[in-house]
Amino acid sequence: MTEQETPLWEVFIRPRNGLAHRHVGSVHAADEVLALDAARDVYTRRGEGNSIWVVRSDAIAASDPDHADETFDPTADKIYRHPTFYEIPEDVGHM
């Protein structure tokens, strides 16, 4: 097909106030106005939310899954970051 490709947008929906927007999928649209319209039609046919964000897919930077081990390694081996690392006598009560 020789025609120009229509850009891809990632869609985020907030189910209700108090919750964060959550990724639900993507749509193709020429601009953000049409992307919001398409996202409403495709992803909110049954009261799934009260707010939509759309973001151009090519504007998202992502971590590399091939480097996931190095990237996320420090979270596992620093056990002193967790409350259970510290010993508090039971007599002290809930802390």
Partner 1 sequence: MYSQGLIGADGRTEESEAFLDAFQKRIDAEEKIEPKDAMPEGYRRTLIRQIGQHAHSEIVGMLPEGNWITRAPSLKRKAALLAKVQDEGGHGLYLYAAAETLGVSREQMTEELLSGKAKYSSIFNYPTLNWADMGAIGWLVDGAAIMNQIPLCRCSFGPYARAMIRVCKEESFHQRQGYEIMLTLCRGTAEQKQMAQDALDRLWWPALMMFGPHDADSAHSEQSMKWKIKRFSNDQLRQKFIDATVPQAEYLGLTVPDPDLRWDDSLNGGKGGYAHGDIDWDEFWRVVKGDGVMNRDRIKARKKAWDDGAWVREAALKHAEKRAMRKTQEAAE
Binding positions for partner 1, rule: CB under 8 A: 1, 3-6, 8, 24-31, 34, 41-43, 45-46, 62, 64-66
Cα torsion angle, 24, 29, 34, 37, sign: negative
Q: Which is nearer to partner 1, 65 or 93 (CB)?
A: 65
CA-CA distances (angstroms) from residue 47 to 14, 16, 28, 43? Answer: 11, 10, 22, 9
Tokens read off for 6: 């229509």
Q: Which is nearer to partner 1, 3 or 87 (CB)?
A: 3
Closest distance of CB 16 from partner 1, Å: 17
d(C-alpha 79, C-alpha 77), whole Å: 6
Closest distance of CB 23 from partner 1, Å: 9
Q: Which is nearer to partner 1, 66 or 91 (CB)?
A: 66
